[in-house]
Copies of this chain bind each other. A is one copy, B any other.
Amino acid sequence: MSPPGRPKGESLSAQREGSPVSAGNWLDEVAFDERGLVPVIAQDAVTSRVLMVAWANREALAETLAGGRAVYWSRSRDRLWRKGEESGHVQEVREIRLDCDGDVVLYMVEQHGGVACHTGRASCFFRRLADGRWQATDPVLEDPELVYRK
């Protein structure tokens, strides 16, 4: 039995998810894999470089939207990974995008410190194929030993 005024077809659970009602819906459109994860590309909103690729679960995506900072799921540590929690290299998320199949997410970010990679480089994609081998083309901006000792 529905209370008066409830729009037909709108479930109680949807109403309970808070305001706006659509808060949970965007997550339902993400095609998480069998582990409940989706790959996330972080792209620098300023330089346009692709910085890194990591994973997110529902909670990571929800917290990213709510807090405005990039949150991922660390498979090695099996817990939420708030990017920059150790290194200080926080990512402010300007935009969240989803691809046509719904199975890849894109964060457009402002990268604190200009370093996204654990090697101390701007981008994790610092190796370029040239003359038949992978050549590191980007400088190390910060000593990773110092970054993770902070």
Tell me the number of copies of this protein. 2
Contact of A127 among B39, B48, B50, B97 (CB under 8 A): B97
**In the complex the two chains form, is B53's CB within 8 Å of A50's CB?**
no
**In the complex the two chains form, is A41's CB within 8 Å of B26's CB?**
no
Chain A interface category by residue count: 35 or more
Q: How far is the CB of A78 from chain B (nearest CB, A)?
A: 17
**In the complex the two chains form, is B25's CB within 8 Å of A99's CB?**
no
A86 contacts B by Cβ under 8 Å? no
Quick one: CB contact mask for A89-120 with B, threshold 8 Å, 1 for yes? 00000011111110010100000000001110
State the CA gap A123–B114 with chains docked (Å): 26
**In the complex the two chains form, is A106's CB within 8 Å of B125's CB?**
yes
A95 (CB) vs chain B CBs: closest residue: B128
Q: Given known contacts A25-B132, A39-B39, A52-B99, what 8 new A-B pairs fall within 8 Å (CB)?
A: A26-B129, A53-B99, A95-B129, A96-B128, A96-B129, A98-B125, A98-B134, A101-B124
